[in-house]
Structure 1
């Protein structure tokens, strides 16, 4: 492993993940340093277990929230601490074994090459992926692309991503949404509105079975209602921003120095 990065941090929000979190963190640490885990009010004993791991690993840090506040709130807590420590980018990764630790270096490298962009994972599903989740995300993706005037968001829900810290902190501190399951899709839409360019990279996603320690806190009814309300808000925000988005799109299409684009 290379020396610890001073700019790019791996951030893992975690809520009652069970035993699988230890394999997730070990796999992440094998690929990157530093790794921070934000324990979002877990009461399954994982906070204590992670702190034991961190006691023997200077590349691992555990932050704890007293109460469960949601994924977005946990990420924001980590962003604030990362900003104070001087980090410029964070890669967010779920604690439940769904995301590919082996691709952490590639995503970090892509971010280092395009530091003004956000690097978005585009999920590559295997045959065991739940069809409801595979098909249902197409609706959110369609709305996200409409709300950003087709800025190039490959997937609005996949949380394996590298964000520039300060633009994301500014977006989140500017309003009180994005604190729970609505974090991932609202983050990419609002960052696109800020002019942060999406770069899409394919990344496999897996859903560990219960016998493998897989744990899911996704509730179809509750979380789909949350996404519906989120996209309703974002659509009206899109309408208000449409003149600016159109102007920005037209400006980016204007040839520089009188040259016309290649055919």
Structure 2
């Protein structure tokens, strides 16, 4: 398959892969762990697990990180592990946390565990269906074909799209927020706020997750900023971001305020180093 890229440079260590490389069968055996934080996602989780387990990727595992969901998501995750862990293979595992401690800390705990358990790549993925499963092979193919330290499923490169259900004001706000963060941090990334990201194991280590300050959705921004500062290269591929079909969004005013303040905190901290 032919690819079109924007070459990375020393000043902008990122690239855009507009026609992602198809995943050869042998690449599907690459140890890849999908880290999926959950809080009250009992209805969505079985759908996501079924879709992921249905991919022709024998090396793929799912790690559910549940924050003691009152709707029984943790118990649902354990039943899924019983269903899919057959023939001596562990394909689904569960990390139970005792309290709702924030998206960032849930991801940090899951990503660290995935690398410790031998994952060569770690994929951040929401449990609400907004990140379509069909892009997972393309993201791994992009990572392996380019050698990039991380791959972003991007809404803001050519071919990427936001959910059709979103109104114009919500789309405008999303684009403005991404442009604002990008202008402050100057990462060279088109979709610095994206939550659908694949990381090479050594990139996860380089980001020093225990030192990450943010906890909500701004965690996504801080990860990419730390990766770029550590000299890791990134690739963005276009995706169609979907609207969740079941349950309610967990985006609160406090989360939005943290996201607005964080870029300046990161930039000032960077200047002091």
TM-score using structure 1 length: 0.80
Contact residue 18 and residue 215 of structure 1 kept, 8 A: no
Matched, 1:109 2:141: yes
Matched, 1:153 2:205: no
135-144 vs 108-117, which moves further:
135-144
Contiguous gaps of at least 5 residues in structure 1 = 242-263
Contiguous gaps of at least 5 residues in structure 2 = 1-22, 86-90, 156-160
Contact residue 184 and residue 264 of structure 2 kept, 8 A: no
1:49 paired residue number: 76
For residues 1-263 of structure 1, the aligned pairs below 5 Å read 5-31=29-55, 32=57, 33-58=60-85, 59-123=91-155, 124-149=161-186, 151-173=187-209, 175-208=211-244, 212-219=245-252, 221-240=253-272
Q: What's the offset of the Cα at 1:180? A: 2.3
C-alpha deviations, 1:147-192, integer Å up to 9, x for none? 443x431212221110123433443445241332221111111211
187-196 vs 112-121, which moves further:
112-121
Cα distance in 2, alignment partners of residues 65 and 5 from structure 1: 29
Q: Please give the secondary structure, in 1, of the residue aligned with 2:165.
A: coil
Cα distance in 2, alignment partners of residues 132 and 29 from structure 1: 36
Cα distance in 2, alignment partners of residues 26 and 80 from structure 1: 24
1:245 paired residue number: none
Contact residue 18 and residue 213 of structure 1 kept, 8 A: no
Q: Give the number of the structure whose residues are more often helix, by fraction.
A: 1
TM-score using structure 2 length: 0.78
